[in-house]
Structure 1
Amino acid sequence: MQIAQRMQAIRVSGTIRLANMARERAAAGLPIIDLAEGEPDFDTPSHVIEAAHRAALDGQTRYTAVAGIAELREAVAEKFRTENRFDCAARQTIVGTGAKQLIFNALLASLNPEDEAIIPAPYWVSYPDIVKIAGGVPVTVQCDSPAFKLSPQALHKALTPRTRWLILNSPCNPTGAVYSEVELAALSDVLRTRPEVGVMCDDIYEKILYGSAVFATLGQVAPDLADRILTINGVSKSHAMTGWRIGFATGPQDLIDAMIKLQGQSTTNASSVAQAAALAALTGPQEHVSDWCRAYSRRRSLVLSALESCPGLTASAPDGAFYVFANCAGALGKAAPSGSVIETDIELSEFLLETAGVAIVPGTEFGYPGHQRLCFAKSDENLTCALEAIREALCSLT
């Protein structure tokens, strides 16, 4: 079969590739601890599962409106109004099969050929490739450690006459960086000079914060820019519902309408039963969120402490999400017991998979070589075993 030329520029998602390698290793009976795939290890809250069960028994198993059931869209709008403190009407919302699909829909519905989207790096692996699929040009801006945040100066420098989007992810995957209200306000000052540039706020890790970090989103900080801000969120991370595939978004009515039109020609509605579950997630008890964050905080400390004894790896504490983005420069240029020299972060992650039986994702996949992303949304036991195996493997390098 003929394969479209545009597919030649598209990569397989790095996190999915590593997760698949881990699954294949496990299926072959080889020991493996997967720190590559980013999803909570907790179970979906029971009241959410019960709501889905009731919906299925009640016959809520048919098509819904493309943009989602009315009750869920209203709950989404209420979430944005009360939690994020910006105006939102239900008609300005859309429910999709995960936040990723809504990012895809938004870029495909808005980018013309050669339009540019600014993407701060390190970035979530799929942003650049989705921009390419939509016919656009990803413009990556390196954001140096330890903050890993886009500065107003860097934003101003990256803007061109073809810029149509800025993509912001806070808390960030893979770094855990969280933009403060002051930092978002400073970026807003630059954006006010370019009214043709939209801002996509990917807030999927909103609920997962540590220490003194406080979540803010651009729609709350700069309400005067509301007509060009798309805010994307969902229940995957906050309610351990990755497999349920429910994301939601709000933004300018013309963009939401275009996204609904596009979704109507692709997936149509998200799963009706999963929508009932998401409604229960948004409107039901939320105590689990703080309980999980306490567990994540403990695990974050466990990983950071263990990394101190891993030669060649250094890391700072993330303010949000559930990843440590470790600098691995000190482990590169060394020889494995086989005699082969490990030159890149990709080769190091492959070495750790083969030698230690631990899957982690190289920073190259996030547009920032010389690093490794470790997901700590795993059990304490698995994290302890994984870090000890990594330490032993790194100690074998000469």
Structure 2
Amino acid sequence: MSADYPFPLAPRMGALSPSPFHILQQAAKESENRGRKLLYLSVGEPGFHTPENVKEAAIRAIRNNQTRYTAADGTPELKAAICAKLLRQNNLIYAPDQVIVTMGGVQAIFNLLLATVGHGDEVLLPAPFFSPYLSSIQLTGAKPVLLPTRESEGFVPQARDVATALTNRSRWLVLNSPSNPAGAIIDRDQLHEIADVVRKHPGLMVLSDDMYEAIRFEGGDFLNIVNVAPDLAERTVVLNGVSKTYAMTGWRMAYLAGPKRLIAAVTQVSLSSAFSPNSISQAAAVEALEGPQTAIEVQLSEYRARRDTVIAALKEIPGLSFVPPRGAYFLFVNCKSYLGMRNAEGEFIRDDLDFVLYVLRKTDVALMPGSGFGMPGYLRISFATSDEVLRIATRRLSDVCNELRLAAAP
């Protein structure tokens, strides 16, 4: 217990360990405080502005005094727009009472888990994973069961690993496709195989995290487990939102769609944690879902070009390996060959956190350590930023890698 804070914290806080992200972010902040200009390849948000029609919808809502509390599960207008989107784009039928609006995806994840799991329950989480999943599971008292994925298999979760990890305490299986941080997409055949495993365990639910649905680089229809296994609809909750598709991260708008009774339980949790979503953001989200969709294809084309820029640069750096991402705007890069080296100053690079901190210190380029996503020995590069920044940053990364190889040479 800290000497300057003598009062006890809740025991659940002991489940949380210091985050590598926090260490990296603190180091970045300290660099900026010293006047350094950083290049952020660490931030997971779109490199575009919110579309003008969406911003105008929010302004109209303010002028029309839509500034009061809304229903805890969202406005009727937004829930109707969500149901229409799910039918139009995903061929999924949900009624408004099967949908809840939340203040961002993290709140959706946390409230869903808080409503459904506790001590003794297990949540199957493929690694690498979006980091708030782990802390949310831990805060509920449930046990995270990490499923291995492999670079050789594109970081796609495999049905055989799901089957091996399942026990009679398993309550949720998380499927994130396209995934953060690896950009992996679970194809139709793989979804069928996973669905076959899920069917054999009637107590298991599936959380289908579709947040990066619109950012896919290979065309074709987007598929989640309900599309290939409609019989699992009553055991599946779909998570999505407007943050990534419409460059609206700061608006904090996401939603869950699933069985009516379960959504009602999540609504009860939301009443106690946020009371109701932001009214202005909900008006903007209605316009995002119902208005022109032309900005999506423009952004996707730019993301594809930026991805190709980073891929071309990384291919020229010996010792780094990666799987070209099929979606989202991240590359998950294997940097294990640089771990265990010493730099020119004789400092030892022990792990991926040491590696990204050294890159930050030497080049003012901020990356994310893979250990924060449950997969040590990797780093995550966001290519959401501009092409110019990506070219400069990858050149600097190449210089650091060259320096380390030279220092390690006999």
TM-score category, normalised to shorter length: over 0.9
Task: From 220, 226, 233, give the equivalent of 1:219.
Answer: 226
Task: From 258, 261, 266, give the equivalent of 1:254.
Answer: 261
Task: From 294, 301, 312, give the equivalent of 1:305.
Answer: 312
Partner Cα separation in structure 1 for residue 84 and residue 239 of structure 2: 14
Q: Secondary structure of the residue that 2:90 maps to in structure 1?
A: coil
Report what 2:4 is aligned to: none
Partner Cα separation in structure 2 for residue 13 and residue 232 of structure 1: 24
Report what 1:383 is aligned to: 390
Report what 1:189 is aligned to: 196
Alignment of 1:81-230 (within 5 A): 81-146=87-152, 147-212=154-219, 214-230=221-237
**Identity of aligned pairs, percent?**
39
**C-alpha deviation, 1:212, in angstroms:** 4.3
> AA paired with 2:243?
S
Asked if structure 2 preserves the Cα contact closer than 8 Å seen for 1:235 and 1:241, the reply is yes
**C-alpha deviation, 1:128, in angstroms:** 1.5
Partner Cα separation in structure 2 for residue 72 and residue 380 of structure 1: 35
Provide structure 2 residue ranges, at least 5 long, that are not aligned to the other structure. Answer: 1-6
Asked if structure 2 preserves the Cα contact closer than 8 Å seen for 1:67 and 1:260, the reply is yes
Asked if 1:28 corresponds to 2:34, the answer is yes
Partner Cα separation in structure 2 for residue 11 and residue 271 of structure 1: 31
Asked if structure 1 preserves the Cα contact closer than 8 Å seen for 2:383 and 2:390, the reply is yes
TM-score by length of 2: 0.94
Measured on the aligned residues, the alpha-carbon RMSD in Å equals 1.3
Q: What CA deviation, in whole Å up to 9, does each residue of 1:171-223 have, x standing for no partner?
A: 01111000112211111011111111000011100000012464211122211
Q: Secondary structure of the residue that 2:325 maps to in structure 1?
A: coil
Asked if structure 2 preserves the Cα contact closer than 8 Å seen for 1:22 and 1:34, the reply is no
Asked if structure 1 preserves the Cα contact closer than 8 Å seen for 2:242 and 2:288, the reply is yes
Aligned length: 398
Q: Secondary structure of the residue that 2:203 maps to in structure 1?
A: coil
Partner Cα separation in structure 1 for residue 249 and residue 24 of structure 2: 17
> AA paired with 1:154?
D
Q: What CA deviation, in whole Å up to 9, does each residue of 1:291-312 have, x standing for no partner?
A: 1111010000100111122232
Task: From 44, 49, 52, give the equivalent of 1:38.
Answer: 44
Partner Cα separation in structure 1 for residue 378 and residue 201 of structure 2: 34
Q: Secondary structure of the residue that 1:281 maps to in structure 2?
A: helix
Asked if structure 2 preserves the Cα contact closer than 8 Å seen for 1:19 and 1:37, the reply is no
**C-alpha deviation, 1:19, in angstroms:** 4.1
**C-alpha deviation, 1:248, in angstroms:** 0.7
Asked if structure 1 preserves the Cα contact closer than 8 Å seen for 2:104 and 2:241, the reply is yes
Asked if structure 2 preserves the Cα contact closer than 8 Å seen for 1:213 and 1:319, the reply is no
Asked if 1:8 corresponds to 2:14, the answer is yes
**C-alpha deviation, 1:17, in angstroms:** 5.1
Asked if 1:318 corresponds to 2:325, the answer is yes
Report what 2:283 is aligned to: 276
Q: Secondary structure of the residue that 1:276 maps to in structure 2?
A: helix
Q: Secondary structure of the residue that 1:199 maps to in structure 2?
A: strand
Report what 1:364 is aligned to: 371
Partner Cα separation in structure 2 for residue 71 and residue 97 of structure 1: 16
User: Which region of structure 1 is more displaced relative to structure 2, 260-269 or 332-341?
Assistant: 332-341
Task: From 51, 55, 77, give the equivalent of 2:83.
Answer: 77
Partner Cα separation in structure 2 for residue 118 and residue 14 of structure 1: 22
Partner Cα separation in structure 1 for residue 193 and residue 232 of structure 2: 13
Provide structure 1 residue ranges, at least 5 long, that are not aligned to the other structure. Answer: none
TM-score by length of 1: 0.97
Q: Secondary structure of the residue that 1:83 maps to in structure 2?
A: helix
> AA paired with 1:275?
Q
